[in-house]
């Protein structure tokens, strides 16, 4: 049980969940009055677990992730991360990896990775050392001096992941990080992410449209309904780890994927 | 035969124009009053270099102060108009309409307010150059990718950090475009106002020599203004290259390819 390691003595018998969401709701003022984007979300992510959220477009997946990151304020309910509420972005507890275009084009790869530390006024040498270490972790040793436009799509997302991990937060949120990549790169990146995850033992909450990606990566897949988004189903993925590409061809993989697909396909 | 590269062709056209400038009046195709030969113009420029240098100093001084005003105020106002939605909605239509007015029509008012000395030129050219700087700064800030801001906030950036580390670097390319346009308009504003009403500066030399039908001296003054504009353009390009290393890869490749083709062209002509 890898998450047991996180429990400090005297914390009680049960391991503390990394992310705990209770009765979360979100509504906003739309053109036709108040729109409920999310309703009654209850969510517990044990430390060290890889959780994937899938659901139809516009179901509020991104909205949920924004609130987990402290970038958006929920209308109702509570979010706790590492035992304390998330009121505003806290990169030391929660790192975020977005879709493309969130690397700063005027900074080199290593400067992008350093950016969160720069905001915290970490001394230059320490900053650089930590950033180089992170680039090594994501397999980009020696590419630190390149600007984003000199990197491929997959490499850019590796830099984003390095940036999300540079402050060593226990929780990493990922919002469709591989959506803009071609299929082949996407597979490789998924595999790489699992390697990084197993090396760092982070808690990951990952949003995707791809059911194959979801089953391949996850310990547990959460299926969300159309707006207002609710959690319809929790699908434990009991495929052995480390995962291999061959597993995608197994019956078990197909059945899990099918179970998720059945719930999503009839939604608008 | 290989076609010569565009830079070679450009240089050849430039050379041809200079030769024509010398040859056309010499051959009597145009009277020297309309077009004095290049050599005569340069000779006058050399002979009166003291006068031209003194006039250039006045013009440069006016341009420098006017540019400081146009760029400084333009960037400040542009940042506020671009960054604050309520002010933008209120003011942007007004500024955009004002930009369409031929501001030169206001110059007589400027002379009434500030006299015919340098102050009225500076004020006029400053206002003239202000608009493009302000409008492009506003556009630059408004069109920043939302994702950049979101990412910075997720990394815990405070508002001052957001401005210094994300908003400013992200808007530099657009702002520089505005500075280039605004700077050029400032030079135009100073020279035009000197031509209209004044007793010093390069623009004044153009008008004064035109009234006494001294064509070589008019053309000599024009050469000085051209040199000033070209120097400004080169300076802004250098600044752009310096600040935008991160997006110059395409340009670098383009220029190196023209270099190769230029080399190919010379080796071809040598063979």
Q: Quote the ipTM score.
A: 0.83
Q: How far is B69 from chain A (nearest CA, A)?
A: 28
Domain hosting residue B139, numbered range: 35-244
Query: Which residues in chain B have their CB less than 8 angstroms from residue A150's CB?
Result: 249
- Please answer yes or no on whether A149 and B150 come within 8 Å at the CB atom: no
Name the residue of chain A whose CA is nearest to B150's CA: A71
**pLDDT digit string (tens) for B176-235?**
889 999 999 999 999 999 999 888 999 999 999 999 999 999 999 999 999 999 999 999
**Closest residue, chain A, to B161 (C-alpha):** A119
Q: Tokens 């509504």 sit at which residue? A: A27
- Higher-pLDDT residue of B241, B127: B127
Tens-digit pLDDT profile for residues A137-147: 888 888 888 89
Does B22 map to a domain?
no
Q: What is the mean pLDDT of chain A?
A: 85
| Degrees, nearest 5: CA angle A216-A220-A226 | 95
Whether pTM > 0.95 for this model: the answer is no
Contact A147 B246 (CB under 8 A): yes
- The count of domains in chain B is 1
Mean pLDDT on A149-165: 90
Better-scored residue on pLDDT, B268 or A73: A73
Q: Give the pLDDT mean for A37-62.
A: 85
Q: The tokens of A69 are what?
A: 């990151």
- Which one, of B180, B198, B182, lies nearest residue B66 by Cα? B182
Q: Which of A92, A96, A106 sits opposite B246 (nearest CB)?
A: A106
The pLDDT value recorded for residue A268 is 59
Minimum-distance CB partner of A89 among B156, B161, B170: B156
Interface test with B, best of A63, A71, A104, A168 (most B CBs within 10 A): A104
Q: How long a stretch of residues is chain B? A: 271
Quick: pLDDT tens for B129-144: 999 999 999 988 988 8
CA A153, CA A132: separation in Å to the nearest integer? 20
Instruction: Compare all CA atoms of chain B with the CA of A68 and give the residue at the minimum distance.
Output: B154
Domain containing B106 — which CATH number? 1.10.3720.10
pLDDT digits (tens, 9 = 90+) for B95-113: 888 888 888 888 899 999 9
CA distance A205 to B28: 84
Report, as an integer, the average pLDDT of B56-73.
Answer: 94
What integer pLDDT is reported at residue B246 of this predicted model? 63
**CA pair distance B85, B234, nearest whole angstrom:** 35
- Cβ neighbours of A29 (radius 10 Å): 8
């Amino acid at each position: 049980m890898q998450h047991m390691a996180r429990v400090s003595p005297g914390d009680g018998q049960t391991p503390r969940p990394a992310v705990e969401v209770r009765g979360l709701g979100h509504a906003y003022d739309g053109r036709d009055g108040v729109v409920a984007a999310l309703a009654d979300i209850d969510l517990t992510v044990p430390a060290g677990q890889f959780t994937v959220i899938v659901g139809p477009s516009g179901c509020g997946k991104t909205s949920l992730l924004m609130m987990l990151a402290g970038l958006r304020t929920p209308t109702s309910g509570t979010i706790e991360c590492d035992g304390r509420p998330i009121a505003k972005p806290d990169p030391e507890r929660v790192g975020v990896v977005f879709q493309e275009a969130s690397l700063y084009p005027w900074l080199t790869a290593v400067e992008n990775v350093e950016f969160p530390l720069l905001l915290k006024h970490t001394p230059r040498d320490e900053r650089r050392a930590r950033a180089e270490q992170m680039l090594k972790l994501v397999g980009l040793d020696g590419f630190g001096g390149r600007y984003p436009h000199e990197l491929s799509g997959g490499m850019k997302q590796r830099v984003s992941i390095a940036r999300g991990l540079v402050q060593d937060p226990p929780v990493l949120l990922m919002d469709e990080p591989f959506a803009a990549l071609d299929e082949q790169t996407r597979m490789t990146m998924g595999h790489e992410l699992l390697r990084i995850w197993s090396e760092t033992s982070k808690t990951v909450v990952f949003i995707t449209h791809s059911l194959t990606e979801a089953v391949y990566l996850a310990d547990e897949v959460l299926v969300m309904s159309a707006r207002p988004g609710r959690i319809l189903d929790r699908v434990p993925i009991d495929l052995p780890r480390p995962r291999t590409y061959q597993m995608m061809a197994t019956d078990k993989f197909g059945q899990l994927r099918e179970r998720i697909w059945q719930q999503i396909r009839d939604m608008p | 035969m290989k076609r010569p590269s565009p830079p070679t062709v450009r240089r050849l056209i430039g050379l041809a124009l200079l030769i024509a400038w010398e040859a056309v009046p010499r051959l009597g195709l145009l009277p020297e009053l309309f077009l004095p030969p290049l050599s005569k113009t340069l000779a006058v420029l050399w002979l009166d270099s003291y006068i031209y240098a003194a006039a250039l100093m006045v013009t440069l001084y006016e341009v420098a102060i006017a540019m400081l005003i146009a760029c400084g105020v333009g960037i400040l106002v542009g940042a506020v108009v671009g960054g604050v939605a309520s002010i933008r909605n209120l003011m942007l239509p007004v500024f955009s309409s004002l930009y369409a007015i031929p501001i030169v029509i206001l110059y007589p008012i400027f002379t009434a307010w500030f006299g015919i000395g340098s102050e009225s030129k500076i004020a006029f050219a400053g206002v003239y150059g202000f608009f493009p700087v302000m409008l492009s700064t506003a556009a630059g800030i408004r069109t920043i990718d939302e994702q950049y801001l979101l990412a910075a906030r997720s990394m815990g950036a405070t508002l001052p950090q957001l401005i210094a580390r994300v908003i400013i670097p992200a808007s530099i390319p657009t702002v520089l475009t505005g500075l280039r346009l605004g700077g050029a308009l400032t030079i135009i504003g100073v020279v035009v106002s000197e031509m209209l009403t004044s007793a010093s500066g390069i623009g004044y030399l153009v008008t004064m020599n035109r009234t006494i039908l001294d064509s070589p001296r008019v053309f000599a003054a024009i050469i000085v203004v051209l040199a000033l504009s070209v120097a400004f353009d080169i300076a802004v390009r250098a600044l752009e290259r310096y600040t935008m290393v991160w997006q110059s890869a395409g340009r670098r490749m383009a220029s190196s390819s023209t270099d190769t083709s230029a080399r190919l062209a010379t080796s071809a002509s040598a063979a």
